[in-house]
Amino acid sequence: MPDRRHHFLGIGLTENRQRTVRSFVMRAGRMTEAQSRAISDLWPVFGVDYEKNPLEFARLFGRPAPVVLEIGFGNGESLAQQAADEQEVNFLGVEVHPPGVGHLLITIRQLELNNIRISRHDAVEVLRDQVPNNSLAGVNMFFPDPWPKKRHHKRRIVQSNFVNMVAKKLQPEAFLHLATDWQPYAEHMLATLDRCSELINESGPGCFSDRLDSRTLTKFEARGKRLGHDVWDLRYRKS
């Protein structure tokens, strides 16, 4: 399977005081004319610019409703489908890959969705500076880059500091849902998340979760399944 996992995730992870280790690599991607036009036309409506001020979600979406954050939405098809299926929920998606942002904006227009907003900034800074504590009903993160080489493991997004920050942004009883098709990374995720005292593994300590029907099957995942690739889901609740 070609590795199109989210190399574009906007996550900065602090390794030490001297430098920041990022879990994403900004690669040049080809923008179609339609994607460029969608960003130009629709970003003022659906885009969220980064600034060091907490967001007022009710004002941002024009209504009070539960907010679910998706980190690294890729081309946005899964996020758009979820938003169409759960129109009573507000969705904030973070993705730094411009073609993916453009593709999602096109889909938002086609499906006439109004419950999605998009950030194209480093997600750790979005979480730290723009997402208030105890404000999210859930966080989704599907198929982040596993950084399989041992020397790159420090670049993995799922590290204790990041998990602890996410937990602080969740409301009590809110969910954290992750999925990966890379077993060593799944095991790393499981061990890291189980250590967070604010999160409860819905399937029990040391156990992966069954795939939920509500998690939209992406084209990437569907192709992997046809090739016999396994997928590991993890679901946690904020205590």
- Which of 158, 149, 170 is closest to 232 using CA atoms? 158
Triad 222, 224, 230: Cα angle to 5°: 110
Using the 8-state DSSP alphabet, how is residue 133 labeled? T
Q: Which two tokens stand for residue 57?
A: 């979600």
Residues 6 or more apart whose Cβ sits within 8 Å of residue 38: 102, 105, 106, 109
Distance, in Å, from the CA atom of 161 to the CA atom of 9, rounded to the nearest integer, reads 17
Set 41, 49, 85, 145: catalytic member = 145
First to last CA, the chain: 37
Annotation marks residue 210 as catalytic: no
Q: Answer for the pair 140, 28: CB distance below 8 angstroms, yes or no.
A: no
CB atoms within 10 A of CB 40: 11
Q: Residues with catalytic annotation?
A: 145
